[in-house]
Amino acid sequence: MKIIRKYILKQMVLPFLLFLAIFTFVLLLGNLIKLADLIINKGVRGLDILKLFLTYIPYLLSYTIPMALLSTILITFSRLSADGEIIALKASGINIYKIAIPIILVGLIFSLFNVILNDQILPKARYTARKIAANIGTKNPEAYLEAGSFIKNFKDYIIFIYDIDKNNLKGIRVYQPSENGPTRTIIAERGKILKTKNTNEIKLKLMDGTSEELDPQKKSKFYKLGFKEYSITLKLDKSPDENIDKKPKDMTIQELNREIKNLKKRGINIYPLLTAIHKKISISFACLAFTIIAIPLGIVSKRSGKSVGLGLSLLIIIAYYLMFIGTKTLALREIVHPILLWVPNVILVILGIIFLNKNSNI
């Protein structure tokens, strides 16, 4: 039995490395185009481009490791099935779980590695990339506006924007904390970024929303005022060189939990931070979920092992990330609890166990 397990694991090594290299290279090309568009035209030194290039690798690996593992297992078991080796194992009375358990352990090990990657290595790489970008020329204030993050770079305000498309904004929340009173909130369905002559400030034109204004009779209370258009000027809290505050993507789980406590005290919505925590962990365990679903699907793919395995892997990857993006979007909009980011993993694991049970007589 040990010989069979070692044989299958050895069969997986080269395909995994090949798929990892291919997937990483393909995704890296897309980021290289963004880098070129962002910095090459500004005459940035080659060394700075190389540094930015390297900071993208941990981010890509968080996606390409699960994808490579899924494709490897599907193709390996599809080939074993197509070559009749699965039939031979069946004739020898070997149960599928005896083969599957070591492969599932491999998936678990990769998942635990990805937890470290997503929680410790990736945030540091992202933060380093932002510092490099700040030092090589992206010193315009609108560069600090990022969708899905609490933006604390502007004086007196904390801002959250759900979607940014060039100068067009959707789902805007502007918080104005006060040391001596409650936090003022401005909410707008959409808005625009307007440049000003001052390089340390920008103007937001907010549309279709509500603004909390101080009650003239009770200074400690607000009343809501609806508006069609509302303008607000944002000034950088520091100079652009110093204005590199950590965003949720740059934080570890420990830092996110600390930030959640601080925001709760100030009456600010914490769903985006909870979503960031669940995202880090749940997407790491995609390796385990992909492993459990890939083994039985690979076994039943008896025709043309490689083509069927690749086709199935692409379908599973697309379906998984569509579900993941969907639940993440709903969580950010406070429609569902962030814990539902685990739904794609749970679905794949349940389906994998069902299919494994059907093949347990092998």
Whether the predicted pLDDT of 91 surpasses 70: no
Q: Do 104 and 288 form a contact (C-beta atoms < 8 A)? A: yes
Report how far residue 161's alpha carbon sits from residue 234's, in angstroms, rounded to the nearest whole number: 14
Domains of the chain, by residue range, sit at 2-136+276-358, 145-240
Start-end of H helices in the chain = 2-39, 46-82, 85-91, 96-116, 122-135, 253-265, 271-284, 286-300, 305-332, 343-358
Using alpha carbons, select from 300, 285, 273 the residue that is nearest to residue 80. 300
pLDDT, tens only, 193-207: 887 776 667 889 999
Q: Which residues contact 200 (CB under 8 A, 6 or more apart)?
A: 141, 235, 236, 239, 240
Q: Do 27 and 60 form a contact (C-beta atoms < 8 A)? A: yes
Q: Do 290 and 348 form a contact (C-beta atoms < 8 A)? A: yes
Helix axes 96-116, 343-358, angle to 10 degrees: 160
pLDDT, tens only, 291-350: 999 988 888 775 554 666 677 888 999 999 999 999 999 988 888 999 999 999 999 999
pLDDT, tens only, 219-232: 667 778 899 999 99
